[in-house]
A and B are shown apart, each in its own frame.
Chain A
Amino acid sequence: MSALTEALDAAKADGRAALIGYLPVGFPDVEGSIRAMVAMVEGGVDIVEVGLPYSDPGMDGPVIQRAVEPAVRAGVGPRDALLAAKAVANTGAAAVIMSYWNPIEHYGVDRFARDLAAVGGAGVITPDLIPDEAAAWFAATDAADLDRVFLVAPSSTDARIISTVEACRGFVYAASTMGVTGTRDNVGTAAADLVARVRALTPDAVVCVGLGVSNGDQAAEIAAYADGVIVGSAFVRCLLDAPTPAEGITAVRRLARELAGGVRRRASV
């Protein structure tokens, strides 16, 4: 069983949703980003999404773009993401890499899967790779025994939800809204509707919800129906808004605690 599935199962055994936190490696620098990821784990994140910075992040909103652009300019790449995944795995939390497809393809599909497994990484989320184009990725992740996470969206047809869930290992990422990453005041009903559709079509699916979640209340709301709650831009904003790197890390830890409280709130209701 992968570290990812272990973390999701452990949360489930706790009667709660898992908390998944995203940060890109390389912001403010590689070392600082790894410290922030470890702080997320200390604050209560179960699974860390290590973002691999990319020059053309078509699914990301302005907050993540602002953090990723300087990392790209500084030459941060796959090796740094592997380093961060290793550091996260060493804390005992599950480490998955979130990456657009080209950096993986350019690094070498098989090599990337092998190297990530070798540092203790559990899997990869690929926001612009759909299963239709993923034959080589299936083979590589099977060979390296890595989880692979694809996305479903409110616009996905029933047939695509079924085939995408079947292609996933670990969990399926449900995009809460039609749009890009970023904090939102209200994640709306689209997420609950989508998760309900996924569960109706594929009852055994493990479904985690992302896009727009920024605080404990929203986390509690989504934890009521999803297996995991994914938070990205709100963590990145902690680092962007902090006057000093140290204060950024404190803010990340504080947000993780709040969100960890959110995903547990339902259990106590």
Chain B
Amino acid sequence: MTSTASAAPASAAPESPFVSEPDATGHFGEFGGRFVPEALVAALDQLTDAFHSAQADPAFRTRLSDLLRDYAGRPSILTEAQRFSEHCGGARILLKREDLNHTGSHKINNVLGQALLVQRMGKTRIIAETGAGQHGVASATAAALLGLECVVYMGEEDTQRQALNVARMKLLGADVIPVTTGSRTLKDAINEAFRDWVTNVDSTHYLLGTAAGPHPFPLMVREFHRVIGVEARAQMIERTGRLPDAVAACVGGGSNAIGIFTAFVGDPGVQLLGLEAGGDGLETGRHASTITGGSLGVLHGARSMLLQDENGQTIESHSISAGLDYPGIGPEHAYLAQTGRASYRSITDAQAMTAFALLCRTEGIIPAIESAHALAGAMELGKELGPDASILVCLSGRGDKDVDTAAAYFGMPTA
């Protein structure tokens, strides 16, 4: 079961490695593309051109990698979770510590990349959507660093539940606009950001926080997060002498997962596992599992998998984790699932919180509840793969923001 990179394939003819690249108009197979008002096409074309020219520009790449090192704190370290491993069938569990980045999650990678692009395009204002507030805080941070105006759209309910992050964004100089339309959650914050963008597109860049939305966002956000997987792949080889048997990451829109998967997509021996938020359980209908419990459709500018009713209306998602509480998913994940290159499972709130508590007590690390879904997936998979396996887990964020939620969940009295 435990295939390794050094083990030669049994068959004589080497298989060509799996490739996951979009076509020129952003399609991963039947997924992706652009389902947007015509008014936004010019801005998306401008962004696509700016992104490709920046990627080819050594000065841009140097500026970004300098910021990632000197500001965000990269490379992030790899931590072997030995005591936690005992609860994972003995499989070696190694954590890619995105929680230690500046602002506390992987989100800073993409935000710094896009903010530099904003400057390159000569725009002065960024808008962003946020659910739990992590992407909003990261966006406000980059805006402060580069002197950009920043407006963050956040569902009204989330502004109340995540008051601490609202305060952080305001301290950083951002305007936080509570969204009172629709279901007043992340998906409506995205709608409102698109409405702002179409109205102010000359001055404004929409700094989308996940690997979803219209082309070029899924590709661009992946590329800015690719560094997670590139670092982790080298660290795994250095630490364990080989590639991991599996890579596990939580998936809402899917940015940390695509960032860590991308470096391993061409490694046939490495299993890629995305963990979706299962809320109260798939069977209850109260979840945020778009691949394991959704269907094909178009939402927020791309064709992918989503939660929808019989009329094609988006269904509200449910998860204890605000960062995974989204009824859509990036198109590349839908493609990786369809082709079988990655597999996806649903993790309930209860499973995630069990893993959350366990990591706190066995490793002294309080993970984001989002990342706890990946940990719960590793617990399942480790028992299936056994003690010879090694599993790389993307610890996408830290759990400071989740302390109130966790205390309430575990019935702990708080001051």
Residues of B close to A179: CB separation below 8 A: 39, 195, 198-199
B38, A175: Cβ atoms under 8 Å?
yes
B36, A130: Cβ atoms under 8 Å?
yes
- A160 within 8 A of partner (CB): yes
Q: How far, in Å, is B27 (CB) from chain A's closest CB?
A: 9
B35, A129: Cβ atoms under 8 Å?
yes
Residues of B close to A104: CB separation below 8 A: 312
Residues of B close to A107: CB separation below 8 A: 311-312
Q: How far, in Å, is A209 (CB) from chain B's closest CB?
A: 14
A interface size (C-beta, 8 A): 42
B187, A150: Cβ atoms under 8 Å?
no
A154, B39: Cβ atoms under 8 Å?
yes
**Contact mask B29-44 → A, CB, 8 Å, 1/0?**
0000111111111110
- A65 within 8 A of partner (CB): yes
**Contact mask B297-317 → A, CB, 8 Å, 1/0?**
111110000001011111000
- B241 within 8 A of partner (CB): no
Residues of B close to A132: CB separation below 8 A: 25, 33-34
Those of A179-224 within 8 Å (CB) of chain B: 179-180
A103, B191: Cβ atoms under 8 Å?
no
- Number of chain B interface residues as a range: 20 to 34
- B194 within 8 A of partner (CB): yes
- A57 within 8 A of partner (CB): yes
- A178 within 8 A of partner (CB): yes
Residues of B close to A102: CB separation below 8 A: 297-299, 308, 312, 314
Q: How far is the CA of A65 from the CA of B40 in the complex (A)?
A: 20
Main secondary structure of the interface of A (DSSP, over half): loop
Residues of A close to B188: CB separation below 8 A: 56
A127, B297: Cβ atoms under 8 Å?
no
A55, B34: Cβ atoms under 8 Å?
no
- B181 within 8 A of partner (CB): yes
State whether A133 and B33 are in contact (beta carbons under 8 Å apart), knowing that A62-B181, A65-B181, A179-B198 are contacts in the complex.
Answer: yes
User: Which residue of B has the minimal Cβ distance to A76?
Assistant: B311
B299, A133: Cβ atoms under 8 Å?
no
Residues of A close to B39: CB separation below 8 A: 151, 153-156, 175, 178-179
A130, B201: Cβ atoms under 8 Å?
no
B36, A180: Cβ atoms under 8 Å?
no
**Contact mask B311-337 → A, CB, 8 Å, 1/0?**
111100000000000000000000000
A178, B299: Cβ atoms under 8 Å?
no
- B182 within 8 A of partner (CB): yes
Q: How far, in Å, is B222 (CB) from chain A's closest CB?
A: 21
**Contact mask B157-193 → A, CB, 8 Å, 1/0?**
0000000000000000000000001100001100100
Q: How far, in Å, is A221 (CB) from chain B's closest CB?
A: 21
User: Which residue of A has the minimal Cβ distance to B36?
Assistant: A128
- A69 within 8 A of partner (CB): yes
B41, A75: Cβ atoms under 8 Å?
no
What are 19 A-B interface contacts by the 8 Å CB criterion? A54-B313, A55-B313, A58-B191, A58-B198, A59-B195, A65-B181, A65-B182, A69-B181, A77-B310, A77-B311, A102-B299, A103-B312, A103-B313, A130-B36, A155-B39, A155-B41, A155-B43, A155-B201, A175-B38
